[in-house]
Amino acid sequence: MPQKKEQKERVARLLETLERDDILIISSSKIRLTLRLATCLIFLTISTMLIASPLLSGSSPAAAPALIVGGIISVIISGTTAAATHRQLSQGIRLTLTSEEVRLENKDGDVIEKARWRDIDQFTPILSQSPLQIIKTVSYHLTDTGRERRQEFLDTAPTARKQYFLLSSPWTRNAGSVIYPSGFTISNSNIFDLLERAHWRYRSKRVRSH
């Protein structure tokens, strides 16, 4: 499997950089996010036309509600995804790894989410519904101590978080899991592999040092 070998080698090089510099920054990919934004806008336009067509064309009353409801759902999904993608693109969202923790930041280094390696229980890939089961993004699950630290961080009401998440809810604040966005300069499968291996390495070091 040449592809898997290449992935392992790339992740190994990234880990070497992290070990050497004690920091590794994975930026958002402008190309990937721009393509995603363009796709969302195309779907948004088509969905708007679906809503308008039954009203303007005088199509059968039986078919009109289904088209309108389908169009509205598509508008909501496309619009929400487009807005989130635009924020990620304009704010320069990035993943920053150190030997101590992993952070989700904006381009100015302001923190949106952060967790110490020892406070993370495990990383989990979120898979697509297709038969190929491609990794869409990655989430992590916190230990009890990690949840407490996250609450303390959220209580500071970080400005970067407010700018990135237009809406917040108690469920999000109390969640024991955090989902990362996708669209970085390396693939989601590489990110998952990198985070798992960094977690194993640095969490083990912290445990041994204590």
Please write the tens of the pLDDT for every residue from 130-159: 887 899 999 999 999 999 999 999 999 899
Which H helix or E strand runs over 27?
strand 24-27
> Could you write out the DSSP letters of every residue in 170-186?
HHHHH-SEEE----BSS
Question: For the whole model, what pTM was predicted?
Answer: 0.85
Strand partners, 65: none
Q: Collapsing DSSP states into helix, strand and coil, what is residue 45? A: helix
Q: Tokens 């070091």 belong to which residue?
A: 205
Please write the tens of the pLDDT for every residue from 167-193: 666 667 677 899 999 999 999 999 999
Query: Mean pLDDT in the chain?
Result: 87
